[in-house]
Amino acid sequence: MAADAGRPAPAGVATGPGTVRIAVDLLGGDDAPAVVVDGALRAMRADPDLHLLLVGPAETAAEVTDALDPAQRARVAVRPVRDAVAMTESPTRAARAHSTVRAAVAAVRAGTADALVSAGSTGATVTAAVLGLGRWPGVRHPALVATLPAVEGPVVLLDVGGALEAHPATLSRHAVLGAAYAAVAHGITAPRVGLLSVGTEAGKGDRARRAADPLLAVGPLPCDARYVGLVEGYDVTLGARADVVVTDGFTGNVLLKAIEGAYAMAGGAPAGGGAPRAAALLGISGTVVVCHGAARADDIASGIALAAHLWRRGATDTVSALLAGDGPGDRTDRTTDTEVTAS
């Protein structure tokens, strides 16, 4: 994974060869466009095979191109769009408007970009991707997946904000998504999959976990993955029991931000990197990376590098193919097609 100068690459991601075109939402994020401009510059300078499609006001895109040398400038294109999605807007309405995130999704759909990165409203980004790119067969609710640098090795955590509600069938489907992602994106052999709960004994947890646990115990998982049962919060940071930890988007988002706060209280992240501020969206027919709304410039650069890494590995197509014949999916989940979180 490409990173800005002087910083280690986040755990589990390595730089790969090959040209890749990333659409970047210049107006997404709490501190946009300044941090997005800075992050785009860092990503460009770190990866000579990276091409960017800057989606936003022309004068903001010029801040990036003017800071690059002529050779680097040739790797940048601009799609002028002036409207941004506010964090307080309805995700469905915002995603349908002529916004930067919708234009970035349209670029991926049209084939003028290979992937997109946004630090804007999670709800609007997920909804725009669902409406513009479509979902994989059998996936009703896409999941945001983040990889944490645990003590024993990287741990894939999902969902971290794609959908708030917990449903047994969705948790079961996310276990399949997470196992395939861990194997394809991070090269984890025979991933161990755990279900996050309040204890490891059978029967622990709320209704959704109690129902999902036996489903996972008997359901097949791809990539020689195996279900190890219920796990607790400390297993996410230790990594000794599970390589993939499954939960709902509400709990996963809270946990991820709590880990981030704990690192801050402790005086900094461990040597392998801190809580990631970029997550891949699984279950969508395209490569989409969502950054934390409070992302810094280096977080934006890491999100761009993650999108490039996933594209170069063909992660979206490979994970989708692994899931193609894997059961009926989470069709028992009755929430509406475009209902997503706005974390």
- The string of pLDDT tens digits covering residues 294-326 is 888 989 999 999 999 999 999 988 998 888 755
Closest CA relative to residue 188, chosen from 230, 135, 152: 152
Expressed in angstroms, the distance from the first to the final Cα of the chain is: 25
Residue 51: band (very low, low, confident or very high) from pLDDT cuts 50, 70, 90: very high
Residue 137, pLDDT score = 84
Burial 209-231 (b: 16+ CB within 10 A, else e): bebbbebbeeeebbbebebbbbb
Mean pLDDT within 255-273: 72
Residue-range definition of the domain harbouring residue 97: 20-323
Is a pLDDT exceeding 60 seen at residue 155? Answer: yes
CATH of the domain at 71: 3.40.718.10
Report how many domains make up the chain: 1
Domain membership of residue 75 (yes or no) is: yes
8 occurs within a structural domain = no
**Does the pLDDT value for residue 10 go beyond 70?**
no
Residue 213, pLDDT > 80, answer: yes
**Cα(301)–Cα(4) distance, rounded to whole angstroms?**
7
135 within domain boundaries: yes
Query: Is residue 337 one of the residues assigned to a domain?
Result: no
Question: Is residue 2 included in any domain, yes or no?
Answer: no
At 161-199, the pLDDT tens digits run: 887 788 898 999 999 999 999 999 999 999 999 999 988
The structure tokens listed for 179 are: 């196992």
- Whether residue 91 is predicted with pLDDT greater than 80 in this model: the reply is no
Q: Is 342 a member of any domain?
A: no
What integer pLDDT is reported at residue 341 of this predicted model? 42
- Does some domain include residue 133? yes
Give the residue with greater pLDDT, 91 vs 232: 232
> What pLDDT is recorded for position 247?
94
Buried b or exposed e, range 74-97, using 16+ CB within 10 angstroms: ebbbbbebeebbebebebbebbbe
Task: Assess contact for 291 and 121: CB atoms under 8 A.
Answer: no
Give the percent of the chain with pLDDT over 90. 46
CA atoms within 13 A on the CB side of 141: 35
The backbone region for 190, taken as left when phi is positive above 0, alpha when psi lies in -120 to 50, beta otherwise, is: left
Average pLDDT on 54-82 reads 90
Q: What is the pTM of this model?
A: 0.84
Q: How confident is the model at residue 280 (pLDDT cuts 50, 70, 90)?
A: very high
Q: Read out DSSP for 258-279?
A: HHHHHHHHTTS--TT--S-SEE
Q: Beta partners for 115?
A: 22, 287
**Residue 200, φ and ψ in degrees, nearest 5:** -95, -10
For residue 153, pLDDT over 80 is answered with yes
Tell me, yes or no, whether 288 lies in a domain. Answer: yes
Question: Which pLDDT belongs to residue 95?
Answer: 60
